[in-house]
Every structure is written in structure tokens, then in C-alpha cells.
């Protein structure tokens, strides 16, 4: 059984204010305003979010993955702020590719510490993972904005073609609001998923594609498989009380930031699937 007190101690010792506020809000009866304020600290004058909010991009400038994470946290904690969201949407519209959506990373990352996979793509094409995750949150909140309208049109054309695990994450986030899309993506998910809960390395298990019982892709996995992955997630709590991630750690600060974030995520996933937190 996961040790909630140990997780709280780990967050106090290692995590950012952002993730300590997430924990307080989601597990300790905290108010939404501190979460909103923690997210707002990463906001830039252009309305976007940067400042290493997304731990892999440690640049001050606004970045699509940072916008995605900001919106997700505001939504998750029910700390939604119309002004912050409107500013982010305006930044997305101002920097959008001609076909809609948003690139994977913005050129403002150049010259700053960043993960090796944070590469600016030639021509700045729209990214399925960034666009899908952002659009999924905005649709779930009933947001209306020109950027979202054009992005939905682009996603309807492109999301069914997703093949790589990260593209599938974006497509499945959009599938929360696009009936039938999850079924069309089922063959690609079956090719991308790793069903062995003890597999090592940067693998993508059922809980990545379908973290909640009502996730669109959950029906693609049998109950026994899901339970085995939940067992493995429970056992993933380390002696220091936190969880970790399976992709490369390339900087101590990046590792600490991600461990705080995924520790709260692990608790959220376990509770959403009916696991008891001690």
C-alpha cells in the first residue's frame, strides 16, 4: 500500500512549490488559489508559460509543452483561471503554424539548457502531442478561441494517423472529446504499448495510454493487465517516499522536478483506480 506520509515528506524535501501545492490541493484539502498562483509564477508577459515549468525545457521563453502542463495542472486542481487561459490561447494563436496547432518546441529554447530531444523542427510544423494535450484540456473546459477551432480541424485530420507513443498521447487526449477516435487508434496503441509491467527502459504501459477507468483507451486492456500495472506502480514508491520516471535524466534539477511531478501523478492514478493510500 502506498505510503502517503512518506510521499508528502519526499515532496517537502525535493519537489517544487508547484507540486507541493498540487499535493495539498488533491490530497490534503488545500484551496485552489495556491495552485493557480504557483502556475502563474511561470507565466511570461506574452501570455505563454516557460521558466522550466516543463522540466525538460529550462529556458525563460514560452514553450508549448509548458503551456500544456500549465493548463493540465489548472484543470486537474480545479484552479482554472480565465485570464491565464486566455493569455495562453492568445500566445498559441500568435505563434501557430499556418495549418493550426502548435509546434513541439518554440525557437526561444535555443541557447538554453534543454533535453536532447527538445529540438526545434525545421519549418515549425504542428506537433500532435503538444496540440492534442492542450486542445483536450481546453475542450474539456468548454473554452472557445480561434486557436482551438483551427486546431480541432487539424487534429481531426491528423490524430487518426498517430503511431509513436508520444503522438498517441496527444491523439488520445483529443479522443476524450472526439467520439470514435479511440477505436480508430486501437491498432496503433496495441503496437506501441508494453504489456509487461516489469519491462525496463523508456516503455509505455497501459496506464500511460489509459490512466483512468474512463479513459477512452481503457477498454483495449483487460482488467488483469491493468491490475498488474497498478501493482507495479504501487511498488514503484522508493525508499525516499517518491516515485521516478523511465526516460533519461540529464540534469539534477530536471530529475528532481520530474520526480516531484510524477510522484503526485502516481498518487492521482492509484486513487483514480480505487487503490487505497495509507
Which residues, 6+ apart, have CB-to-CB distance to 142 below 8 Å? none
- The upper half-sphere exposure of residue 262, i.e. CA atoms within 13 Å in the direction of its Cβ, equals 20
Q: Which pLDDT score is estimated for 5? A: 96
Whether the CB-CB separation of 273 and 42 falls below 8 Å is answered with: no
In angstroms, the CA 26 to CA 32 distance is 9
The 3-state DSSP class for residue 174 equals helix
Whether the CB-CB separation of 218 and 173 falls below 8 Å is answered with: no
List the chain residues with pLDDT less than 70: none
Whether the CB-CB separation of 60 and 114 falls below 8 Å is answered with: no
Q: Which pLDDT score is estimated for 1? A: 87
Q: Which pLDDT score is estimated for 93? A: 98
| Eight-state DSSP code of residue 121 | P
The 3-state DSSP class for residue 14 equals helix
Q: Which pLDDT score is estimated for 278? A: 85
pLDDT in tens, 207-224: 999 999 999 999 999 999
Burial class from Cβ neighbours inside 10 Å (0-12, 13-18, 19+) for residue 235 reads exposed
Grid coordinates belonging to 92: 498559441
Q: CA nearest 139: which of 89, 98, 192, 94?
A: 89
pLDDT in tens, 34-76: 999 999 999 999 999 999 999 999 999 999 999 999 999 999 9
In DSSP notation, 217-254 reads TGGGS-HHHHHHHHHHHHHT--TTS----SSPP-SHHH
Grid coordinates belonging to 112: 538554453
Cα dihedral across residues 48, 54, 57, 59: positive or negative: positive
Q: Which pLDDT score is estimated for 111? A: 97
Exposure class string for 77-89: b at 16+ Cβ within 10 A, else e? bebbbeebbebbb
Q: CA nearest 63: which of 73, 74, 52?
A: 52
Grid coordinates belonging to 30: 488545500
The pTM assigned to this predicted structure is 0.97
Report the Cα 149 to chain-centroid distance in Å. Answer: 21
Taking CA atoms, 127 is separated from 102, 131, 191, 234, in Å, by: 6, 6, 21, 32
In residues, how long is the chain?
278
In angstroms, the CA 170 to CA 185 distance is 11
Q: Which pLDDT score is estimated for 255? A: 98
The 3-state DSSP class for residue 213 equals coil
Amino acid at each position: 500500500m502506498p505510503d502517503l506520509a512518506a510521499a508528502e515528506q519526499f515532496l517537502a524535501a525535493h519537489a517544487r512549490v508547484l507540486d507541493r501545492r498540487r499535493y495539498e490541493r488533491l490530497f490534503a484539502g488545500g484551496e485552489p488559489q495556491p495552485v493557480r498562483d504557483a502556475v502563474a509564477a511561470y507565466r511570461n508577459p506574452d501570455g505563454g508559460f516557460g521558466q522550466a515549468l516543463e522540466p525538460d525545457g529550462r529556458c525563460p521563453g514560452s514553450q508549448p509543452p509548458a503551456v500544456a502542463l500549465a493548463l493540465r495542472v489548472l484543470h486537474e486542481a480545479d484552479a482554472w483561471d480565465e485570464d491565464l487561459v486566455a493569455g495562453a490561447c492568445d500566445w498559441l494563436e500568435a505563434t501557430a503554424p499556418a495549418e493550426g496547432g502548435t509546434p513541439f518546441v518554440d525557437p526561444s529554447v535555443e541557447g538554453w539548457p534543454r533535453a536532447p530531444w527538445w529540438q526545434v523542427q525545421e519549418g515549425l510544423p504542428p506537433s500532435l502531442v503538444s496540440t492534442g494535450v492542450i486542445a483536450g484540456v481546453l475542450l474539456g473546459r468548454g473554452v472557445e478561441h480561434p486557436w482551438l477551432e483551427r486546431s480541432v480541424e487539424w487534429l481531426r485530420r491528423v490524430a487518426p494517423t498517430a503511431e509513436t507513443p508520444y503522438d498517441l498521447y496527444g491523439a488520445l487526449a483529443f479522443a476524450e472529446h472526439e467520439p470514435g477516435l479511440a477505436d480508430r487508434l486501437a491498432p496503433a496503441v496495441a503496437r506501441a504499448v508494453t504489456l509487461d509491467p516489469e519491462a525496463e527502459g523508456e516503455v509505455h504501459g497501459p496506464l500511460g495510454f489509459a490512466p483512468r477507468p474512463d479513459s477512452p483507451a481503457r477498454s483495449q486492456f483487460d482488467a488483469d493487465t491493468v491490475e498488474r500495472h497498478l501493482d507495479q506502480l504501487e511498488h514503484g514508491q522508493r525508499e525516499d517516499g517518491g516515485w521516478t520516471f523511465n526516460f533519461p535524466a540529464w540534469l539534477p534539477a530536471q530529475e528532481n522536478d520530474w520526480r516531484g511531478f510524477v510522484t503526485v501523478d502516481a498518487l492521482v492514478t492509484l486513487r483514480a483506480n480505487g487503490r487505497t493510500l495509507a
